[in-house]
Amino acid sequence: MGNFLNITNGDSAVEIMKEANIPGVFLPWRDVLHEGPVPEQLSLEKLSEVRAQFIIGHGWGKPENVRKSFIERDNELKSFAEYEKVILWFEHDLYDQLQLLQLLDWFHINTTGELKLTIICTDNYLGMLAPDEMKGLFEYEETVTEKHFLLANKAWSAFRSSSPERWRDLLNTDTTALPFLKGAVTRMLEEYPDCSNGLSRTAYHALKIISEGEKRPGRIFARYQESETRRFLGDASFWVILHELLESKPPLIQLPEGKELTLPTSPDQELSIALTGTEVLAGKRNWLEIVELDRWIGGVHLTSNNMWCWNSSSNSLVKQT
């Protein structure tokens, strides 16, 4: 068996790799980097502490288990010199592209060129492949070069910047070394509040689906997924957005009196659009005038005093004053 370290996007992919008899050790890179703070000028360990606290704050795991998972993950990564080769297995969507940037940037800083580092990145969803299909992806394996490193370093630094302008500027950069990066850049920008209605692209689609009469949260999520050409969002993150729409004052969506939105859901949880939600969808109100904004996108902390919005028609960021 080859002395390889295979780093990939999650446990589902790892299970399929094992079924496919892919040689080596497997390291799932579990982090939703498109959600919550990813501030600049922090070491891997310090950033992992920030990320663990964010995940714990959302109740996405027991605190001791979350912290342990990050520590074990980082220690395995730092043992890379024990391996003959490290292979980065990732997809084309936003979730994976951000993880790939983080890893390439880290290897750029922490290796001397002696490591054999390769990348397999296609438009296949790894967790949905058959074992034979997974094994067939070796056809796309390529050696990581200085071009990959330099682009990843630039993009990862831009993502962690306290201003989103450097991330936006990547749309005018040659990103051919990482062919799926530009799509991820645009998709992340679309999660900024829209200048016309204040909603992220995901929140807008969720609200629109509910306005069209879909009531069950699980079906709303499924229909939202159909709107994505590169699916990246998990149900837990989607539920956070639904809760924000529910808990807005006034709310944009509503549940029957006495009911709560949970994950997993129950049959009595039926969502409907509220009057304010209808007004926001129609462009009569802007959600930014209603909600108390407190949200991180990478290194950008969106607040009432630092409010950026995205104009999709002109591909431009606008700072609200």
Which single residue is written with the structure tokens 């390889």? 4
pLDDT value of residue 151: 98
Contact 145, 171 (CB under 8 A): no
* 193 secondary structure, DSSP code: P
Domains of the chain with CATH codes: 4-184 (3.40.1360.10), 201-292 (1.10.10.10)
pLDDT above 70 for 207 = yes
Apex 295 CA angle, 47 and 105, nearest 5: 30
Residue entry with tokens 């070491």: 43
User: Residue 108 phi/psi, 5° resolution?
Assistant: -60, -40
- Listed in sequence order, the residues at least 6 apart from 62 whose beta carbon sits closer than 8 Å to its beta carbon are none
Q: Report pLDDT for 300.
A: 98
Q: Of 166, 146, 147, nearest to 156 (Cα)?
A: 166
What φ, ψ does residue 40 adopt, rounded to 5°? -80, 165
Residue type, position 130, single letter: A
pLDDT band at 228 (very low <50, low <70, confident <90, very high): very high
Please state, in angstroms and rounded to a whole number, the distance separating the CA atoms of residues 187 and 228: 10
For residue 35, the model assigns a pLDDT of 97
Which tens digit of pLDDT belongs to each residue from 56-79? Answer: 999 999 999 999 999 999 999 999
Q: How confident is the model at residue 302 (pLDDT cuts 50, 70, 90)?
A: very high
What average pLDDT does range 121-132 have in this prediction?
Answer: 97
Angle (CA) 148-154-159 rounded to 5° is: 120
Arithmetic mean of pLDDT, 7-29: 96
Q: What is the DSSP string of 220-243?
A: HHHHHHHT-SS----HHHHHHHHH
pLDDT band at 182 (very low <50, low <70, confident <90, very high): very high
> What pLDDT score was predicted for residue 321?
75
pLDDT score of 143 more than 70:
yes
Above 70 in pLDDT, residue 274? yes
pLDDT at position 169 over 80 = yes
pLDDT at 312 (0 to 100): 85
Tally of CB atoms within 10 A around 27: 19
Task: Tell me the whole-structure pTM to 2 decimals.
Answer: 0.96
Residue 92: its pLDDT value, please? Answer: 98
Q: Is 27 left (phi over 0), alpha (psi -120 to 50) or beta?
A: beta
CA distance linking residue 203 with residue 309, whole number of Å: 14
Mean pLDDT of the chain: 96
Q: What is the pLDDT of residue 240?
A: 96
**pLDDT single digits (tens) 94-126:** 999 999 999 999 999 998 778 899 999 999 999
